[in-house]
């Protein structure tokens, strides 16, 4: 771990904050208890410490702002385009986002922003910024500092990240694990990129290295993807109806343990039929940690033989958004299958 302090040079770091909505920018109606969004000017008043940085901070806000449950691929495209259009003007970007789908957005942006060489830090909060015990202030302040931090003159974390509760995680390795604690997110299969204590301590050897190529964004996303969570007692009719959803191009099956699924004849038969019809099937474990190892047990060996793609230690968020990205940018199923088992943005361990 190496220490890094933000230094304000003759020209202050320029940070663009993209405010999409979420709990971090909400206030509670004292009569109904319902949370509703406010605009960022009110957040500035709630967190006056931002001014002490001396950074050149600008803000662009979604209109209307979104509850993260309403986040869709079209909104990911909007964020990617905002970063592209402002890329040369700013040193780093902070995206304020609701926590519920934040890991999906961070994963999606990691694939959409090719050759990224500047920090894109997503953060949010479990309590609104106006609450006395809120986590919003620390998350926002530290995210801004990380986005501006340079080590040896270069951005400390030139990739898409999630900052929450004193830890910085790779965006496509992150999952929301708790809805009631401030430590809402974890990256079970990959260590934190940084930790915020008295100092910001980075793990430079874990951070992605810029390619030196020009930023390229990908805005074609194909959402003809389904997710099926395998469970004991699952009926043939239900499973078949999921596989036969119209216009489906790919399906993620969330299996047990290291990639194990039922061995009943009807399950294998229906899955084989789907694959034969041209549907790509990807195997992801239901476990927060660990990896898919098709063939380790007899119950998964048949999956490997029929052509199910082993998703290694991809999170469900990374697996889903990677499929949307690959389906939107590649026509050949063979290319998509090949890239699904390659780590193209540090999203999986090989």
Kindly list the catalytic residues. Answer: 23
- Residues paired with residue 168 on neighbouring β-strands, in sequence order: 163, 194
CA distance 26 to 36: 5
Cβ neighbours of 331 (radius 10 Å)? 7
Instruction: Please give the full DSSP string across 202-253, using - where no structure is assigned.
Output: E-GGGSPPP-SSPPEE-------EEEEE--TT--HHHHHHHHT-TT--EEEE
**Nearest to 298, CA basis, from 338, 240, 259:** 259
Backbone angles phi, psi at 16, to 5 degrees: -105, 125
Q: Is 347 exposed, middle or buried (0-12, 13-18, 19+ CB in 10 A)?
A: buried
Exposure on the CB side of residue 316, measured as CA atoms within 13 A: 19
The CA-based dihedral angle spanning residues 313, 314, 317, 323, taken in that order and rounded to the nearest 10 degrees = -160
**Nearest to 303, CA basis, from 316, 291, 311, 320:** 311
8 Å CB contact between 53 and 148: yes
- Residues paired with residue 3 on neighbouring β-strands, in sequence order: 201
User: How do 225-229 and 216-217 pair as beta strands?
Assistant: unpaired
Exposure on the CB side of residue 86, measured as CA atoms within 13 A: 22
CA distance 58 to 272: 53
């Amino acid at each position: 771990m190496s220490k890094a302090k933000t230094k304000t040079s003759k020209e202050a770091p320029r940070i663009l904050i993209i405010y999409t909505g979420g709990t971090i920018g909400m206030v509670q109606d004292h009569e109904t208890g319902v949370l509703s969004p406010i605009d960022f000017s009110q957040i500035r008043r709630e967190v006056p410490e931002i001014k002490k940085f001396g950074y050149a901070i600008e803000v662009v806000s979604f209109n209307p702002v979104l509850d993260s449950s309403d986040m869709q691929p079209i909104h990911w495209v909007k964020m990617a385009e905002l970063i592209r259009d402002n890329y040369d003007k700013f040193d780093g970007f902070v995206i304020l986002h609701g926590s519920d789908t934040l890991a999906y957005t961070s994963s999606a942006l990691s694939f959409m922003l090719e050759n990224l060489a500047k920090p894109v830090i997503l953060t949010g909060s479990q309590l609104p910024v106006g609450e006395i015990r809120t986590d919003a202030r620390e998350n926002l302040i530290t995210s801004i500092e990380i986005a501006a931090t340079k080590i040896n003159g270069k951005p400390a974390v030139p990739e898409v990240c999630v900052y929450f509760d004193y830890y910085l995680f790779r965006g496509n390795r992150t999952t929301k694990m708790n809805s009631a604690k401030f430590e809402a997110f974890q990256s079970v299969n990959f260590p934190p990129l940084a930790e915020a204590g008295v100092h910001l301590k980075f793990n430079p050897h874990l951070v992605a290295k810029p390619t030196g190529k020009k930023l390229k964004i990908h805005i074609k996303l194909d959402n003809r993807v389904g997710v099926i969570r395998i469970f004991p007692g699952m009926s043939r009719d239900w499973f078949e109806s999921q596989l036969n959803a119209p216009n489906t191009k790919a399906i993620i099956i969330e299996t047990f343990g290291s990639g194990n699924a039922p061995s009943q004849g009807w399950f294998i038969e229906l899955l084989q039929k789907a694959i034969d019809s041209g549907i790509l099937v990807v195997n992801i474990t239901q476990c927060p940690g660990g990896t898919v190892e098709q063939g380790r047990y007899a119950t998964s060996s048949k999956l490997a033989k029929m052509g199910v793609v082993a998703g290694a230690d991809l999170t469900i968020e990374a697996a889903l958004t990677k499929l949307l990205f690959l389906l939107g940018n590649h026509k050949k199923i063979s290319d998509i299958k090949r890239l699904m088992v390659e780590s193209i943005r540090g999203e999986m361990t090989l």
